[in-house]
Amino acid sequence: MTAKPAPSPEAPPDGDYLRLEQQICFSLNAASRAFGGVYRVLLKELGLTYPQYLVMLVLWEHGELPVKKVGEHLRLDSGTLSPLLKRLEAAGLVRRERNARDERSVHVGLTAEGTALRERALLVPRRIAAATGFQLDEINELRSRLDRLTSALDEAALDGTPLGETPGCV
């Protein structure tokens, strides 16, 4: 872990919302990168990357789906999702098939090996929770707040109107 550098004598006052440590996006990005490091270690045992793990989570939960639906669950476009699915297919974990009634639609489902991998993956969420040092209720509250944040940001992006000023909330 890198030590936090001391502020420079020319640093703006603490109330300046352009300070790096005042940026919520930076805190979220740093947390995401830290999660990525922990997931990388845990998922190596399963032979998955984090994005591949997310695809597998969707398929374990919902079963066979059109690729478009998988993308909707993961908030990924087909250009990002297709290479993930190709690698999972090459690893023998999923199969992709064109819909007989609509050749444009591709369905993705688990192979027997992909289904079996679920049992080994059951430890991942527990180990992630343990790595956070949070209690289960704290994790659930954080997830709820992040879901609300995502919804609010989605709405603000779709709305297209200038965002209001909220001091201390950047």
* Per-residue model confidence (pLDDT) at position 98: 87
The ranges of the chain with pLDDT < 50 are 167-168
The pTM is what?
Answer: 0.82
* Per-residue model confidence (pLDDT) at position 9: 59
* pLDDT, tens digit (0-9, with 9 covering 90-100), for 17-52: 889 989 999 999 999 999 999 999 999 999 999 999
DSSP string, the chain: -PPPPPPPTTPPPTT-TTSGGG-HHHHHHHHHHHHHHHHHHHHHTTT--HHHHHHHHHHHHH-SEEHHHHHHHHT--HHHHHHHHHHHHHTTSEEEEE-SS-TT-EEEEE-HHHHHHHHHHTHHHHHHHHHHT--HHHHHHHHHHHHHHHHHHHHHHHH-SPPPP-TT--
* Per-residue model confidence (pLDDT) at position 133: 95
Question: May I ask the CATH class of domain 20-121?
Answer: mainly alpha
* Per-residue model confidence (pLDDT) at position 5: 67
Spell out the domain ranges in the chain.
20-121, 122-158
